[in-house]
Amino acid sequence: MKVNKKSAMTWPAMLMLLCFTLIPLLIMFETSFRSDETGTLTLENYKKFFTNFMYIKLTGSTLLMSLLVTVISLLIAYPLAYIMAKKLKGLKNVILVLTIIPFFTNQLVRVYSWLIFLQDGGILNRLFMSFGLAENGLGILYTRAAVVIGLTHAFFPYMVVTIYMALERMDDSLIEASMSLGASKWTTFKDVIFPISMPGVMSGVTIVFVPCLGSFVEPRILGGVNGTVIGTVIEDQFFQLYGWNFGAAIAFVLFALVLIFMGAFGALGRRWETE
């Protein structure tokens, strides 16, 4: 078999990942097969996850939440990236920088700002009241809606960057050619623009969906009573009690899920690209 020498360029990164991700995680992987009480090898941690309906349900609702955040992010990020790449000239870099600047603040501090903004008697509430739109509390905070607002805010700018990177490289003459051949705007978009931007969309979906699945800060603080997700369960296992074994087991189940979903997204994306 012929191996292209140029593939050796992947080695530095793979070496790093081998030393500081794969090998360390093997230790954790082994831990996830250890019994809490006796320390012997066992499947009980995985069994606990799959036999208790609560964990399945939590995983399911976390998946749905992450998908929702991903879709909303896509709806916000794609048009923005498109306008930046194709309509704005000098301003596009300014807007790109502006979308990233908020990340210079700490995640916790940002989430607390949302808390102050959204809470009953908070800034949004006062704004609404001064326009006579609301009389009492809004009741947004401590609901799943607040969690989605917070998570979308935390992740969609990444998607803007990836989609913009894909769109910006696209040749405008392709669009013009399609239009001059009489294709409608929608057809041009569907058959020319979107397929070409697909790598950016795929990267963007990954960059939002994956971290969302394991998030726990936004759900816990903005979700309150309704803020339990699979990420908070993992965090509790490590920080609130000495439950590494079970916590690690959940994390690896989650990783398997990520691989499955990424595979599915990938297949979906390729289909669109080739159509």
Q: Output 41 or 75, the one with its CB closest to other proteins.
A: 75
Q: Which of 41, 47, 64, 121 binds other proteins (CB under 8 A)?
A: 121
Cβ pair 103, 207 in contact under 8 A = no
Q: Closest separation between CB of residue 199 and other proteins, Å?
A: 3
User: What residues numbered 9-38 form the site for other proteins, per CB under 8 A?
Assistant: 9-14, 16-17, 19-25, 27-28, 36-37
Q: Is 129 in the site for other proteins (CB under 8 A)?
A: no
Per-residue binding string, other proteins, 199-238, x by CB under 8 A, is: xx-xxx-xx--xx-xx-x---xx--xx-xx--x-xxxxxx
Question: What part of residues 167-206 is at the interface with other proteins (CB under 8 A)?
Answer: 168-170, 172, 175-176, 179, 196, 198-200, 202-204, 206
Cα-Cα-Cα-Cα torsion 227, 228, 232, 237, nearest 10 degrees, comes to 140
Looking at residues 60 to 79 of the shown chain, list those that interact with other proteins (rule: CB under 8 A): 76, 79
Residues 184 and 188: their CA atoms lie apart, in Å, by: 6
C-alpha to C-alpha distance for 53 and 57, rounded to whole angstroms: 6
Q: Which residue has the tokens 């690209």?
A: 273
CA dist., res. 77 & res. 161, Å (int): 9
Q: Binding of other proteins at residue 86 (CB under 8 A)?
A: yes
Residue 142 makes contact with other proteins by CB under 8 A: yes
Max CA-CA distance within the chain? 74
> Which class for 249: exposed (0-12), middle (13-18), buried (19 or more C-beta within 10 A)?
buried
Nearest approach in angstroms of CB 132 to other proteins is: 19
> Is residue 272 near other proteins by the rule CB under 8 A?
no
Contact between 88 and other proteins per CB under 8 A? yes
Residue nearer to other proteins on the CB measure, 63 or 175: 175
**To the nearest whole angstrom, how small is the minimum distance from the Cβ of residue 240 to other proteins?**
6
Q: Identify which of 119, 126, 128 has the alpha carbon closest to the alpha carbon of residue 146.
A: 119
Taking CA atoms, 197 is separated from 89, 156, 167, 168, 265, in Å, by 19, 16, 6, 9, 15
For residue 80, the minimal CB distance to other proteins (Å) is 5
Which of 44, 58, 147, 151 is in the footprint of other proteins by CB under 8 A? 58
Q: Which of residues 241-260 bind other proteins (CB under 8 A)?
A: 241-244, 246-248, 251-252, 254-255, 258-259
b or e along 15-36 (b: 16 or more beta carbons within 10 Å of the residue's beta carbon)?
eeeeeeeeeebeeeeebbbbee
